């Protein structure tokens, strides 16, 4: 079973912001990704606007609605983000915990401790037809608490799996992802995944964890696009999400 590829465009926005102009354009990059097989697009709007901005979300939402494809909006529990998701009726809202000073997301929600933060947001958005997902560590014991929030999906944090690539830990980390996905399905949830996935480690995940329905991939994909071109890169990632072995650029 193939994983649906949602391309995270944050690094395109980050590069644009470095010059303070409009190039490169997340919208133009998004169109290219969709034209070459991506299922949908992802934006993570952080409070400091260091990459994606609120206007990017509006522009991408208009474009994805025109094309009939999915926009996944990620972020923390701050009210301005939740209200933007509600206003634009994004297809999916993925709640991700954020800690001050982090370079990138590096942990899932502390469940059931964070239930009172998550559940009201899910209750606010689901009646609007917005699918809700929550970012979780690869731990099957957390899935009952995840389901209790009312969320439709979990997004499994795959950095531990990715960092184990080529090491003796890989088998155990893959097993943890698989067990977490199976536990989520057992309590009525669907499964997304994301973080540090690339052309080398995605095919194995697609083959071994058929419960995964969607992967959000950004940093590695945009980095590979510097060597391969965006269109070719997206096509390779789509194949990787089908479990096919794909050549990856040699970067070191």
In the set 36, 51, 70, 74, the catalytic residue is 74
Cβ contacts of residue 159 below 8 Å, gap of 6+?
106, 195, 196
pLDDT per residue of the chain (252 residues) written in tens, 0 to 9: 699 999 999 999 999 999 888 899 999 999 999 999 999 999 999 988 888 999 999 999 999 999 999 999 999 999 999 999 999 999 999 999 986 665 566 678 999 999 999 999 999 999 999 999 999 999 999 999 999 999 999 999 999 999 999 999 999 999 999 999 999 999 999 999 999 999 999 999 999 999 999 999 999 999 999 999 999 999 999 999 999 999 998 765
Please report which residue ranges of 89-218 form alpha helices under DSSP H.
Answer: 115-125, 143-148, 159-163, 170-186, 202-208
- Indicate if 74 belongs to the active site: yes
- Residue 103's pLDDT is 59
Tokens 């997004």 — which residue?
155
In the set 70, 173, 195, 214, the catalytic residue is 195
- Residue 106's pLDDT is 61
Tokens 């959000």 — which residue?
216
Cβ contacts of residue 133 below 8 Å, gap of 6+?
72, 92, 93, 94, 95, 151, 152, 153, 154, 155, 192
**83 is written with which tokens?**
């209200």
* HSE toward the beta carbon, residue 186, CA cutoff 13 A: 12
- Indicate if 44 belongs to the active site: yes
Sign of the CA dihedral with 145 first, then 150, 155, and 157 last: negative
pTM metric for this prediction: 0.94
> What structural domains and CATH numbers belong to the chain?
4-240 (3.20.20.70)
In the set 36, 44, 51, 173, the catalytic residue is 44
């Amino acid at each position: 079973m193939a994983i649906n590829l949602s391309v995270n465009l944050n690094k395109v926005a980050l590069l644009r912001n470095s010059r303070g102009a409009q190039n490169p354009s997340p919208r133009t990059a998004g169109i290219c990704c969709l034209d070459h097989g991506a299922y949908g697009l992802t934006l993570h709007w952080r409070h400091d606007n260091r990459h994606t901005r609120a206007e990017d979300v509006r522009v991408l939402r208009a474009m994805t609605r025109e094309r009939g494809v999915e926009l996944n909006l990620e972020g923390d529990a701050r009210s301005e983000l939740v209200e933007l998701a509600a206003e634009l009726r994004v297809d999916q809202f993925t709640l991700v915990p954020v800690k001050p000073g982090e370079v990138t997301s590096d942990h899932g929600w502390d469940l059931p401790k964070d239930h009172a933060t998550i559940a009201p947001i899910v209750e606010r958005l689901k009646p609007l037809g917005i699918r809700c997902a929550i970012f979780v560590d690869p731990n099957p014991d957390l899935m009952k608490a995840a389901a209790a929030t009312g969320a439709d999906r979990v997004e499994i944090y795959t950095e531990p799996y990715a960092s184990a690539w080529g090491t003796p830990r890989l088998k155990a980390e893959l097993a943890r992802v698989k067990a977490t996905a199976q536990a989520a399905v057992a309590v009525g949830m669907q499964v997304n995944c994301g973080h540090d996935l690339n052309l080398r480690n995605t095919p194995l995940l697609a083959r071994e964890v058929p419960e995964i329905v969607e992967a959000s991939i950004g940093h590695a994909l945009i980095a590979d696009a510097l060597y391969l071109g965006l269109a070719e890169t997206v096509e390779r990632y789509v194949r990787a999400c089908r479990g096919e072995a794909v050549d990856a650029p040699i970067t070191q």
